[in-house]
């Protein structure tokens, strides 16, 4: 009787002790959860700050200011037998003089003419080449405005600063007001941002060359690194004997993944350009350098994918009389392929954003033409961002941010593709 009473007391005491510790334990758990949540919020808010900063700076670059002028395609300047040789520079200037007849004197006239982009004459020439019947006519044409006018229209250059500290003078603002009152100032979507190559003039500068350069570079990287990486991973995982040599190879591959990328650029300069004599600044060389850089990533991801194929499937294949090669190609590779693809896409996304190694092999040059192939000199998106960020003109600020937005857009797309692939193929056996 007293035995069971003792037991009861002991149990009650134990329950009390547990209850007492409960409060402390629940509090610790709540704090831990809050800590984790706080860490996530901190990380996400930095990402949000980054995005908001870039987007708010860059979105305006996607619209370009145009000014409508009544352009007379005077036969005096254009010979219909030699259309390309006409003096098209006079056309927008005459149109401006007619709109502002009161402007006189060389300096004021030069300021007036500079309101229109220097590319306008080529746009007009192309229009006449396409349609020679324009000669002799007068038409209202939307011409691209100069970058300083563009900044003024977008409200980045304002009037509150004293005139001698400004780029846009009071006179230019007056002209701009008059043009705007007549409905001759309009912003259109800036398609040329995507189709033009680099330029000294901000209003003409575009990322077309950089996009094509990035495309060719990534193409070369993919074509080289995927087969080599997969083959190396298959060899190391399936065929290599366990000995010292294999160990050394494995250690070195893991180390290569940690080498700073600029070292690969130095290697590319010394070996590919100096020793092999490949063309400088070409996507071919860039692709070779980036291949070396992404190979460790692909090999490591591929090996993990191969390891995850269950040994039961390998044994089943061998048991039916498949040779080792057949077992690997018919059974192991197809099952490991999703993991390999995911690793490759992630490696490509890393390569897309690399600039340091490419600087070393010369892809930092000022290149205006859109490259036609992998051996033409070109630049890549991140390097273009770097070059523009160095330029003094204010209009390049928004273009730099816009280029970053495009680059980030591609990266996000590639990573989403990798995640989708991974989810879709997660458990197929």
C-alpha span between 346 and 415 (Å, rounded):
7
Residue 56 as a binder of other proteins (CB under 8 A): the answer is no
Residue 315 as a binder of other proteins (CB under 8 A): the answer is yes
Residue 321 as a binder of other proteins (CB under 8 A): the answer is yes
Query: For other proteins, which residue of 262, 322, 359, 375 counts as binding (CB under 8 A)?
Result: 322
Nearer to other proteins, 97 or 246 (CB): 246
Nearer to other proteins, 329 or 369 (CB): 329
Residue 323 as a binder of other proteins (CB under 8 A): the answer is yes
3-class secondary structure per residue, 145-164: ECHHHHHHHCCCCCCCCCHH
Q: State the nearest-atom distance from the C-beta of 423 to other proteins, in Å.
A: 18
Q: What are phi and psi of 141, to 5 degrees?
A: -115, 140
Closest listed residue to residue 302, CA positions, set 354, 251, 227: 227
Nearer to other proteins, 335 or 375 (CB): 335
Q: State the nearest-atom distance from the C-beta of 318 to other proteins, in Å.
A: 6
C-alpha span between 353 and 346 (Å, rounded):
11
Residue 244 as a binder of other proteins (CB under 8 A): the answer is no
Query: For other proteins, which residue of 266, 304, 313, 337 counts as binding (CB under 8 A)?
Result: 313
Residue 16 as a binder of other proteins (CB under 8 A): the answer is no
Distance of CA 394 to the CA centre of its chain: 21
Residue 424 as a binder of other proteins (CB under 8 A): the answer is no
Buried b (16+ CB within 10 A) or exposed e, 53-91: ebeebbebbbbbbbbbbebbbbeeebeeeebeebebbbb
Pattern 193-232, other proteins, x by CB under 8 A: ----------------------------------------
Q: State the nearest-atom distance from the C-beta of 330 to other proteins, in Å.
A: 7
Residue 245 as a binder of other proteins (CB under 8 A): the answer is no
Residue 339 DSSP label? H
C-alpha span between 116 and 134 (Å, rounded):
21
Residue 316 as a binder of other proteins (CB under 8 A): the answer is yes
C-alpha span between 270 and 104 (Å, rounded):
59
Closest listed residue to residue 285, CA positions, set 297, 263, 270: 270
Residue 326 as a binder of other proteins (CB under 8 A): the answer is yes
Residue 162 as a binder of other proteins (CB under 8 A): the answer is no
Pattern 271-310, other proteins, x by CB under 8 A: ---------------------------------------x
Q: What are phi and psi of 102, to 5 degrees?
A: -75, -10
Token match 């011409």: residue? Answer: 143
Q: State the nearest-atom distance from the C-beta of 425 to other proteins, in Å.
A: 11
Query: For other proteins, which residue of 154, 331, 394, 422 counts as binding (CB under 8 A)?
Result: 331
Token match 């193929």: residue? Answer: 425
Please count the CA atoms within 13 angstroms of the CA of 378 that sit on its side-chain side: 29
Buried b (16+ CB within 10 A) or exposed e, 11-37: eeeeeeeeeeeeeeeeeeeeeeeeeee
- The residues binding other proteins (CB under 8 A) are 241-242, 310, 312-323, 326, 330-331, 335, 428-429
């Amino acid at each position: 009787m007293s035995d069971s009473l003792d037991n009861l007391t002991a149990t009650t005491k134990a329950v009390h002790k547990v209850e007492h510790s409960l409060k402390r334990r629940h509090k610790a758990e709540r704090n831990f959860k809050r800590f984790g949540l706080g860490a996530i919020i901190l990380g996400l808010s930095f990402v949000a700050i980054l995005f908001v900063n870039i987007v708010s700076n860059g979105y305006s670059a996607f619209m370009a200011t145009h000014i409508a002028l009544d352009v007379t395609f005077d036969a005096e300047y254009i010979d219909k037998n030699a259309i390309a040789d006409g003096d098209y520079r006079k056309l927008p200037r005459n149109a401006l003089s007619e709109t502002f007849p009161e402007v006189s004197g060389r300096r004021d006239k030069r300021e007036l003419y500079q309101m229109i982009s220097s590319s306008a004459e080529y746009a007009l020439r192309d229009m006449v080449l396409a349609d020679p019947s324009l000669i002799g006519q007068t038409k209202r044409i939307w011409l691209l405005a100069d970058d300083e006018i563009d900044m003024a229209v977008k409200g980045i250059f304002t009037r509150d600063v004293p005139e001698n500290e400004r780029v846009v003078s009071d006179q230019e603002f007056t002209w701009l007001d008059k043009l705007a009152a007549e409905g001759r100032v309009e912003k259109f979507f800036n398609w040329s941002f995507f189709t033009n190559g680099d330029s000294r003039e901000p209003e003409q500068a575009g990322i077309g060359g950089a996009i094509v350069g990035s495309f060719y570079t990534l193409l070369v990287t993919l074509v080289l690194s995927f087969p080599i990486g997969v083959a190396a991973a298959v060899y190391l995982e399936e065929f290599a004997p366990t000995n010292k040599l294999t160990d050394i190879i494995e250690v070195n591959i893991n180390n290569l993944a940690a080498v700073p990328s600029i070292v690969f650029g130095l290697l590319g300069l010394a070996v590919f350009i100096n020793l092999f004599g490949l063309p400088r600044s070409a996507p071919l060389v860039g692709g070779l350098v980036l291949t070396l850089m992404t190979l460790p990533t692909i090999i490591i991801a591929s090996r993990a994918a191969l390891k995850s194929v269950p040994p039961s499937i390998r044994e089943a294949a061998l048991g039916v009389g498949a040779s080792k090669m057949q077992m690997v190609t018919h059974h192991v590779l197809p099952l490991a392929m999703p993991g390999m693809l995911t690793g490759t896409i992630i490696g490509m996304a890393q390569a897309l954003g690399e600039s340091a190694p490419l600087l070393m092999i010369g892809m930092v040059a000022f290149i205006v033409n859109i490259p036609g192939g992998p051996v033409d000199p070109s630049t890549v998106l991140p390097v273009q961002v770097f070059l523009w960020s160095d330029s003094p003109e204010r209009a390049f600020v928004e273009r730099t941010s816009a280029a970053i937005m495009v680059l980030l857009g591609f990266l996000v797309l590639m990573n989403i593709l990798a995640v989708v692939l991974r989810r879709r193929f997660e458990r197929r056996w």
